A and B are shown apart, each in its own frame.
Chain A
Amino acid sequence: MSAKKYIYLDHAATTPTDSKVVQAMEPYWYQNFGNPSSLYALGQRANKSLELARQDIAKILKSQSEEIIFTGGGTESINLALKGLIHALRPQVPQAHLIVSAIEHHAVLHAAQSLRKEGTEVSIAPVDADGLIIMAQLAAAIKPNTVLISIMLANNEVGTIEPIQKIGVWLAKLNQTRLSKHLPKIYLHTDACQAAGALDLDVQKLHVDLLTLNGSKIYGPKGIGVLYVRRATPLIPIIDGGGKEKNLRSGTENMPAIIGLAAALKIAQKNRLKENARLTKLRDWLIKNILQTIPKTILNGHASYRLPNNVNISILDMEGEALLLYLDDVGIQASTGSACTSATLEPSHVIRALGRPYEAAHGSLRLTLGKSTTLKNLKYLMTKLPGIVKYLRQASPVIVDMVELNQSIKDAPKKIIDL
């Protein structure tokens, strides 16, 4: 095997599991393997650990522990939140309306599409050129039968942090007026998977009714998720079975992963501010260097309302997949919004939603930093990136006019789309 080492700059895709997390999980494979529902001591021991993990997470979310539901991952939590709520409300609101932002993860967008097929009305609310939700458009999207808004806490591709607290407070007021008009309450769900390691998850401050997070982005195990469900939020399960997790998520609890997720979240939240400060410095160094060194580049996402570990830049006149493979060849792992790397052959819907043309999506490069990232890593990247870009541009017949490009970003329509 070659001794080649590599620099992992794709922490938004997933993170390595923290060794302390693995350590915490360890007893739950052999010694403490019991089913929390079993009555004998082994089972009850597992049940106690399960409830302690739930309390740990509740403490971080500033919620009650019975409001924490364990699921099989972020995607499942999102599906449970969207489908579970709309299905639960069906007797009162047979024809419900759901609003999601244009830059949601596919888990939200595809769950919304699937609800649309069942007859639910769905509106997609636009974001501005930096990826921030346009509040006036969000307000305009609301209908008498709106029951749920789902907007992510921070975006996984471009890192933009959404004003969920502001939306939550505004929605609480709006719900009071709706109540007096006998209109259904509008619940708020936020997908916090990408934000969980960096942002405050206090659900009271955020004013959310439902919040999704998972293990795989915070140095925890994969295949484990949480759905926070505020008390009195109507929800019915999407998976039928023995009735675990307050009858919302059946199936024997994945104990090692639950313990791992709780440990990972505790570590991440404890070190959050310090790590954010370190990463923000690295992030801004990298953004500045790429934009200054490589001509015809534009930053995707908000410059300051941005996850501390996210860099997303469109490099025009070349294609992202080719760039990734050349970077991989020199030991750097990154990601792109190019169509060539997506299963659907569609370029990133997030970069398109910012008003960027196809060319910008095809040439986008996402570098997401993490615990192991150092300035030295980024300096090494900068010794390779400009040369690769120059080479790929020389090999490409495309020359995008930047003035036209910037104009088209400015002119991009920002409309509510009804599915």
Chain B
Amino acid sequence: MAKKITPKNKPSKKSVSADFDIVPNGSNESWLYSKVVKEHFFHPKNLVTDASKMTGYDGLGMVGSPACGDMMKIWIKVDKKNDRITDMKWQTFGCASAIGATSMLSVMVTEKKGMLIDKALTVKPQDITKRLGGLPTRKIHCSVLGDKALRSAINNYFLRSGQKHRLVEEQSRIIDKVAKVTDHDIEEAVLEGASTLEAVQKKTKVGIGNPSVIPEVEQLIRFYQEKYFG
């Protein structure tokens, strides 16, 4: 595993020199995010700043794309004897909540001798959100990539270490055959703030040409609402 990396080019935190014209009104007083998010955003833990130096890891996972606004890469090191994750490093393209959430995830996974693999597979976005002291509602979707990237890294570890029987599949099920919309698409829509059938339809077109699936869609919306915002 690469040695602990500290960001080298971190912007100086020295205060602004005192000769600018507009007087502040306590620019520190209100921040969109919690103190914990702020801490993890400005001082990310386990962040990789030079991916070319990342060698000796046991699993590598990547999810998202720059087009959708968030992309995440996770490296893990595993204590094979005890089946625990001993180190997790990451890179993230995204906003403060995405960066904060990945940083927090890396802490959760590696604290107290490291998390058991089986437990790491069950980490949910709201576990991370909770530890962050909450996220603004419309930012919650930024935290959901972390657990997916972690599962992807664990799967990669399973593959590399010949444990194919342990591979976990990210399941998605077609709900609307006409519009080719999966339960995963509905989950995404809910995470992006669609809380009604109409709003989800606007994003996914689910059930518009196929009204028979609407009761199931409504049930899924309630389920994901409960899961993420309940």
Contact = CB atoms under 8 A, between A and B. Distances in A.
A321 B92 CA distance: 13
A374 B21 CA distance: 9
How big is chain B's contact interface, by range?
A: 35 or more
B162 interface: no
Nearest to A373: B21
Contacts of A341: 95
B20 A396 contact: no
B68 A358 contact: yes
Contacts of B230: none
B22 A345 contact: no
B96 A317 contact: no
Interface string A208-247: 0000000000000000000000000000000000000000
A33 interface: no
Nearest to A400: B66
A4 to B, nearest CB: 5
A318 B139 CA distance: 18
B27 A328 contact: yes
A380 interface: yes
Interface string A300-340: 00000000000000000111011001101111000000111
A390 B8 CA distance: 10
Contact of B69 (A338, A357, A388, A400): A338
Interface string B129-150: 0000000001101100000000
Given A1-B26, A347-B69, A358-B67, A397 B93 contact: yes
Interface stretch (A5-13, A84-92, A144-152): A5-13
B27 A331 contact: yes
B62 interface: yes
A339 B13 CA distance: 27
B56 interface: no
Contacts, number: 140
Contacts of B153: none
Contact of A396 (B18, B92, B139): B92
Contacts of A339: 69
A392 B139 CA distance: 19
Given A326-B11, A331-B16, A394-B50, A359 B24 contact: no
B7 A362 contact: no
Contacts of A397: 51, 62, 71-73, 91-93
Interface of A: 1-8, 16, 317-319, 321-322, 325-326, 328-331, 338-341, 343, 345, 347, 357-359, 362, 372, 374, 376-377, 380, 384, 387-388, 390-391, 394-398, 400
Q: Which 3 A-B pairs have the closest CB atoms?
A: A340-B95, A321-B95, A331-B16
